[in-house]
Structures are given as structure tokens and as C-alpha cells.
């Protein structure tokens, strides 16, 4: 694709033309267009001089990624900027919680409602926001714990609260229904926290985050660095700092979510705002260690900035 950009740029320059019209669905949207079938093809016009086909600091056409899969998508125009095994189905671990938050926000109207924490939620395995058995805490605060601390306890408390109101277990079904609604054909959820190795692809996760960002509450929560919550009676306090290192270190980061399990490795999804104002989602799945998922994301977004102009 990058080589095609170069050829087009040279051809149009040689003909003395200042602009090249390119169908995104044929050349740049790649498989992303498969999930946008209800939208007609978009004809986008670039100045040929604005197409930059070379990699960051002449290190090659694209960065080498040390992860199982990765993708970078400009979610404002649907353009695929970087791809590596974007359609490989992989365990997503706590990236699950993006869908958990989405379903909760779309089905539970009162975020100030008190949720009573069950024993099963408080004692669930894995990462936690550390809520207590029988603690009463606002649903809103559980959502912060879900995203910032990647709390499995928060995920289960939210799921149980939802199912308790409806008096039937439908939360996981709604997560899968939402995935189907969004056209995420390989995404599948078995629990609300990511403990049982829910699965998806890098491409489908980018589409999910694009959808989730339409909800202002989700965007505000996922873009928060620090948050303090208290139980309803004020006796318990939860001080939370995001697990998203880039939210703390890069000013171009909008939102993001980390994930880890032994089977999945280290996962990360992050939305950046480019210097030109475009929102770019970068997904890294199956990175080698805790730090490398952030390093790979930095590598990809820096290459994108150096290789594209809008």
C-alpha cells in the first residue's frame, strides 16, 4: 500500500497534477471498510505532496512490531495507517472491560445508584480496585475502578448489579449482542472481566473503542489519570491511578486500556490525537512484557506521525 502511494505520487507529479483522488475503501481502509458496509465509499482527495510513504527516520517502510498483532486506524476517516496480523483472533484479557463499560453505560441510567458489593465480587481473582464485601459504592465509582484499575471486582459487581435489577443473567449476552451489532464477527465474551480469555482481533478492538468514545462518560472516565472514590458511608476510600502509562506521559493520549493474562500476554489499546487533530487508535496484542506494550504503541504512533500528513 505504501509503495502504491509512492507510485501514485510520482505519476501524478509527473503529469503535473496537484491532486490525486483515492478511494479509501479500495486502497486505505483495507478490512476496516468491511465493518462500514452501511456507509457508501468515501472519495477522499489528497494533495500528492501530502503523501509521505517512507518510515520513521529512514528505518524502513514500516516499524517492526514485537507483538502478536497490531493496528493503527485513523477513526475520523477510517484509514488504516499500520497493520500487522490485524485479523488474528487472540485472547484480549482486560480489554474486555471496554465492552463491559459500554454495556453498563447503555443499560444503567443512574450512575449515582448505590451498588452493594457481593462476596464473589470482592474476592474475585486478578487485578482489583479493592472493594469490600457488603460495601455500598456508587455505580459511577465502579466504572472508574473498572477502567483505571482494571478491576475484576468492579466488573463482576457491575454485572451482578445489572442482572439483579433485571432478575435474570443477561449482561454477558448483551456484550455479545453489542459485538454483533457493531459487526465484530470474531469477538466473543464469556465473562465481564476477561478472566476466561474472551477473544477478538486488533482491528475489531479498534472499531469497538471508536464506538465507545461516542459516549462522553466513557471518554471522560477512560481519559482520567487519577480518581478518588468513597463508599456511601464514607468509611472506605479508593484512590486510583490509571494503569495506562501513556495517559500519564504523552499529552497526545486521549484514552486507553491495558490488559494482561498468561494466555494473552500484554495487551494495550490507546487513542491518540495527532498534531492535525485526527484521532488515531493503536492496538497492540500479545506484547512480550509490561513495558513493551507501551513501547510498541509509542513506536507505531511516532512512525504514523512521521509517515502521514493530513
Residue 291 is predicted with a pLDDT of 97
In a domain, 279, yes or no: yes
| pLDDT tens sequence across 140-199 | 999 999 999 999 999 999 999 999 998 999 999 999 999 999 999 999 999 999 999 899
Is the pLDDT score of 245 beyond 80?
yes
Are 192 and 101 in contact by the 8 Å Cβ rule? The answer is no
| pLDDT tens sequence across 6-22 | 333 433 333 333 322 33
40 and 140 housed in the same domain = no
What pairs with residue 131 in β-bridges?
A: none
126 and 250 housed in the same domain = yes
Give the mean pLDDT of 88-108: 98
Are 191 and 96 in contact by the 8 Å Cβ rule? The answer is yes
Residue 32 is predicted with a pLDDT of 47
192 and 247 housed in the same domain = yes
Residue 310 is predicted with a pLDDT of 79
46 and 118 housed in the same domain = no
CA dist list (Å): 286 to 65, 147, 202, 219, 300: 11, 20, 10, 25, 15
Taking residue 196's Cβ as centre, other Cβ atoms within 10 Å add up to 13
238 and 110 housed in the same domain = yes
Per-residue pLDDT band for 24 (boundaries 50, 70, 90) equals very low
Per-residue pLDDT band for 38 (boundaries 50, 70, 90) equals very low
CA dist list (Å): 97 to 38, 142, 193: 27, 12, 6
| pLDDT tens sequence across 251-273 | 999 999 999 999 999 999 999 99
In a domain, 79, yes or no: no
Residue 61 is predicted with a pLDDT of 72
Q: What is the pTM of this model?
A: 0.82
Cα gap 76→85, rounded to integer Å: 22
Q: For all residues of the chain together, what is the average pLDDT? A: 85
Taking residue 108's Cβ as centre, other Cβ atoms within 10 Å add up to 17
| pLDDT tens sequence across 277-304 | 999 999 999 999 999 999 999 999 999 9
Is the pLDDT score of 1 beyond 80?
no
In a domain, 163, yes or no: yes
Residue 28 belongs to what domain range?
Answer: 2-53
28 and 127 housed in the same domain = no
How many percent of the chain have pLDDT more than 90? Answer: 77
Split into its structural domains, the chain has a count of: 2
Amino acid at each position: 500500500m505504501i509503495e502504491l502511494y509512492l507510485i501514485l505520487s510520482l505519476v501524478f507529479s509527473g503529469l503535473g497534477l496537484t491532486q490525486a483522488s483515492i478511494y479509501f475503501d479500495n486502497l486505505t481502509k483495507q478490512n476496516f471498510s468491511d465493518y462500514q458496509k452501511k456507509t457508501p465509499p468515501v472519495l477522499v482527495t489528497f494533495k500528492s505532496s501530502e503523501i509521505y510513504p517512507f518510515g520513521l527516520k529512514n528505518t524502513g517502510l514500516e516499524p517492526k512490531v514485537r507483538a502478536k498483532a497490531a493496528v493503527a486506524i485513523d477513526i475520523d476517516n477510517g484509514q488504516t495507517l499500520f497493520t500487522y496480523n490485524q485479523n488474528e483472533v487472540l485472547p484480549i484479557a482486560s480489554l474486555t472491560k471496554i465492552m463491559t463499560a459500554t454495556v453498563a453505560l447503555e443499560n444503567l441510567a443512574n450512575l449515582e445508584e448505590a451498588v452493594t458489593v457481593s462476596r464473589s465480587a470482592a474476592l474475585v481473582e486478578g487485578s482489583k480496585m479493592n472493594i469490600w464485601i457488603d460495601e455500598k459504592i456508587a455505580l459511577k465509582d465502579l466504572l472508574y475502578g473498572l477502567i483505571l484499575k482494571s478491576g475484576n471486582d468492579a466488573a463482576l459487581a457491575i454485572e451482578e448489579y445489572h442482572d439483579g435489577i433485571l432478575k435474570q443473567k443477561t449482561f454477558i449476552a448483551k456484550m455479545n449482542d453489542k459485538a454483533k451489532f457493531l459487526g465484530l464477527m470474531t469477538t466473543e465474551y464469556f465473562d465481564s472481566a476477561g478472566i476466561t480469555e474472551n477473544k477478538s482481533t486488533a482491528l475489531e478492538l479498534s472499531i469497538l473503542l471508536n464506538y465507545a468514545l461516542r459516549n462522553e462518560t466513557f471518554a471522560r472516565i477512560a481519559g482520567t489519570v487519577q480518581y478518588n472514590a468513597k463508599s456511601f458511608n464514607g468509611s472506605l476510600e479508593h484512590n486510583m491511578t490509571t494503569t495506562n502509562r501513556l495517559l500519564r506521559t504523552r499529552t497526545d493520549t486521549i484514552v486507553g486500556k491495558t490488559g494482561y493474562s498468561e494466555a494473552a500476554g500484554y495487551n494495550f489499546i490507546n487513542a491518540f490525537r495527532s498534531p492535525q487533530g485526527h484521532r488515531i487508535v493503536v492496538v497492540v496484542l500479545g506484547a512480550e512484557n509490561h513495558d513493551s506494550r507501551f513501547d510498541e504503541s509509542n513506536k507505531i504512533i511516532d512512525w504514523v506521525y512521521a509517515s502521514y500528513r493530513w
